[in-house]
Amino acid sequence: MKLFPIILAAGQGTRMNSALPKVLHPIGGKPMLQHVIDRCKQLKADKLAVIYGHGGEQVRARINDDGIHWVEQAEQKGTGHAVAQAVHLMDDDDCIVIAYGDVPLIKSKTLQALADSLQQNDLTILTTVLDNPKGYGRIVREAGRVACIVEEKDADDTIKQITEVNSGFIAAKGGDLKRWLQALQPENAQGEYYLTDCVGMAVAENKRVDTLICENPNEVEGVNNREQQAKLERVYQQQQAKTLMENGTSLLDPNRIDIRGNLTVGKDVIIDVNAVFIGDVKLGDNVVIHPNCVIQDSVIGSNVTIYPNSVLEQAKVADNCSIGPFARLRPGADLQKQAKVGNFVEIKKSQIGEGSKVSHLSYIGDTEMGKNVNIGAGTITCNYDGVNKHLTQIGDNAFIGSCTQLVAPVSVGNYATIGAGSTITKDAPAEQLTLARAKQISRSGWQRPTKNEE
């Protein structure tokens, strides 16, 4: 039997109240649909289809789609109608697993169990038991055996009491599904072709219909509105926090970390509250991250400390560096070993050499800095002439006095010293003191202005 997951993602998601198609709304920074696709791909499926419709172009543009059969459902006439769009891809002995693009936390282990259940069953429904089953299709049983599924909108008060609900995920063979889908009628409160009506048909044919009960309801909870999205976001973040801690990371508060992408962590890392990791972030061993840091697409070496309120994006930080508090590393910031970037310092597309220090109130952009350089407080590189960006080069062991402006393109030699307050427009030679500022004068007999009388 070939495994063929089909993901339903054509619905509009009216209750999200959004211009973005529902399945593109993110959990952990990744579209819900992509979560489901990634889990289906882990199954090593033989083929994979996504039924798309509402916001189709946006959906196809935003989803990484290698190996996906995209099947359009131009009009959304219900879940059964959606699956019916893919019948041309189904072989009779395919093991079809229907997944939902708006149920992002499903685990591939569960999908696999659903698929494996077809060795005993003809149709398996993934169900769960909810304290508040409102809105879901209810599993109606007779003498303990599944009889049918009744949607909330078609349910009477007795059925509404049932707490076992349809997750939406089902498994069945291609041949059976094709027959059932053809026979669906939109005779229900919503006038839709319900996939769930296949269950009653299977029972009528004396097929083996059973349920697989999902122990963790979060895994099969759907997102229909932003409140549910926010809830599943927290669940997802808590799962990631738990995994991090299991792998040896200390979290000062596991409820106050957000990972929106892939975080790879070395041993004995300590992460204080309100850290946000975006995209691909790697942390070496013994990294300490103080409160309120945002780190995006960056690689951080071992024994690095990032002090509070620092923001890093596309930065490379080697071992034993110190960053912040209140530092901003922008794309192309490249800190070599033991470099220090202190408070209110912005670094863009610049290499900060081994052991060099930019400790206070600086902007360093488009710069190649050597080793053991000291940049005085308030120093800036004037890298932009209004049209083009230019390079600043600073040699090993240079000392740049406070509040220097380095007007690029310009270079400062090894062991050069720049006097405080200089505006450097020409290359400063190695080992010399360079000063570029008006000479200090003092006037005796000078009087302060007095206030005019009116």
* 147: its two tokens: 């009889």
User: Which of residues 16 and 335 has its CB atom nearest to Ca ion in the complex?
Assistant: 16
- Cβ at position 13, least distance to ligand UD1 in Å: 7
In whole angstroms, the minimum distance from the beta carbon of 334 to Ca ion comes to: 46
The candidate with the shortest Cα–Cα distance to 238, out of 218, 222, 213, is 218
Largest Cα separation within the chain, whole Å, is 112
The item of ligand UD1, Ca ion, none sharing an interface with residue 233, based on CB under 5 to 8 Å by kind, is none
Residues 383, 365 contacting (CB under 8 angstroms): yes
When CB distances are held under 5 to 8 angstroms depending on the partner's kind, the choice from ligand UD1, Ca ion, none that residue 10 binds is: ligand UD1
Tell me: cis bond preceding 26? Omega within 30 of 0 counts: no
Q: Which range of residues in 39-47, 64-72, 192-200, 383-391 is near ligand UD1 by CB under 6 A? A: 192-200
What is the spatial distance between Cα 248 and Cα 152, in angstroms, rounded to a whole number? Answer: 45
413 part of the interface to Ca ion, by CB under 5 A: no
Per-residue CA distances from 231 to 18, 38, 222, 274, 364 (Å): 18, 21, 10, 18, 41
User: Considering CB distances under 5 to 8 angstroms, the limit depending on partner class, which of Ca ion, ligand UD1, none binds residue 11?
Assistant: ligand UD1
- Using CB under 6 A, pick the residue from 37, 40, 48, 73 that binds ligand UD1: 73
Q: Is-contact 317 335, C-beta < 8 A?
A: yes
Binding characters for ligand UD1, 211-240, by CB under 6 A (x = yes): -----------x-x----------------
Return the bridge partners of 6, or none.
Answer: 49, 98
Residue 208: partners with Cβ closer than 8 Å, 6 or more residues away? 120, 121, 122, 123
Interaction partner, residue 101 (Ca ion, ligand UD1, none; CB < 5-8 Å by kind): ligand UD1
Nearer Cβ to ligand UD1 (37/347): 37
Residues 10-29 that bind ligand UD1 (CB under 6 A): 10-11
- In the block, residue with structure tokens 């809105």: 135
CB of 271 to ligand UD1, least distance (A): 34
Whether the CA torsion 122, 126, 129, 133 is positive or negative: it is: negative
φ, ψ (nearest 5 deg) of residue 453? -90, 145
222 touching Ca ion, by CB under 5 A: yes
Identify the residue among 100, 236, 277, 307 touching ligand UD1 (CB under 6 A): 100
81 has catalytic annotation: no
Applying CB under 6 A, among 76, 238, 302, 305 the residue interacting with ligand UD1 is 76
The residues annotated as belonging to the active site are 360
Kindly list the residues in this chain that would bind Ca ion in the complex (CB under 5 A).
222, 224
